[in-house]
Amino acid sequence: MAKIGIIGSGSWGMALSALLYNNGHEVTVWSALPDEIKEMQQTHRHHTLPELILPDNMVFTEDLEETMSGKDLLITAVPSVYVRATAKQMNPFCRYGQVIVNVAKGIEETSLMTLSEILEEELPMANVAVLSGPSHAEEVSKGLPTTCVVGATTRKTAEYIQSIFMSEVFRVYTSPDIQGIELGGSLKNVIALAAGIADGLGYGDNTKAALITRGIAEISRLGTAIGGKIQTFGGLSGIGDLIVTCASMHSRNRRAGILLGQGKSMEEATKEVKMVVEGIYSAKAALALSQKYEISMPIVEQVNAVLFDGKSASEAVRDLMLRDKTIESSDIPWE
């Protein structure tokens, strides 16, 4: 049995808390929201996962030191925009060599850093790893079979985390490519907004397939330029996560995109979704990274134009379709 502290009580943090508890571990959950802690203490439920019943002896607290003290493993599950501030709060209570698994997805707009890079900067004493893949919290909380990948700096750390999470309904693979895993998990949210926009416009399966396929091409081009491995983008945290996020109504990014496609503003869409839409926060960072590394990312460009420049969704799709003619893969030579 491991002692685990989960920092962040959103739907993903709570789904993982139930999974890890059912795996036989001791789980403490932290939230910065006192009302949320009180709700879980009193009802043993979480408003975003109404069917999930939380165990009586799972600990819920707003005391960060209590959550971190003496833990074998810490999991950071706060939205990307709060990762740096939360890491600063964690610093006084973080011991040397503490294993931390980041399960949130995003890129910091101001620094263009991934979330694990932020954690390493703010918590230099920690051993930071990541967990990602096609894994909607709603399905994990119901015990539906799910597969993810854990990235770590050493095989030993990766296999330790793998052993903590593995169960008959949650299979975990290992990888040394932390950067590729994080970039795939973050950039796919921007493509999922585009897929949702297409759905909101009433387009069909052909359009969705095109966006997923060309989307992974964009993600792979940028990801490998930054240092990720091409195999990662063809795996669970790349094409796997992209498919599920573009296709499922569990995806808040797709749902927000649908509303944008129906003509609603970014503010109206996020208000209606009622959850953090990570793709909106990652879109500007993705565009800035594409410009920094001189990588063509037309889908990302058009998503930014719709989100921040007032461009209509239909015009964005038209401009994507009417770009200059090109070859599908420049790596395949003509005979």
Q: Active-site residues: which are they?
A: 188
Chain centre distance of CA 270: 17
What's CA 293's distance to the chain center, in Å?
Answer: 22
Q: How far is CA 178 from CA 42, 89, 160, 283, in A?
A: 38, 24, 16, 20
Residue appearing with tokens 């009433």: 202
What tokens were used for 63? 């005391």
Compute the distance between CA of residue 328 and CA of residue 82 in angstroms, rounded to an integer: 38
How many CB atoms sit inside 10 A of residue 276's CB? 18
Residue type, 179: Q
Question: Positive or negative CA dihedral for 50, 56, 57, 59?
Answer: positive
Contact in structure between 297 and 218 (CB atoms under 8 Å): yes
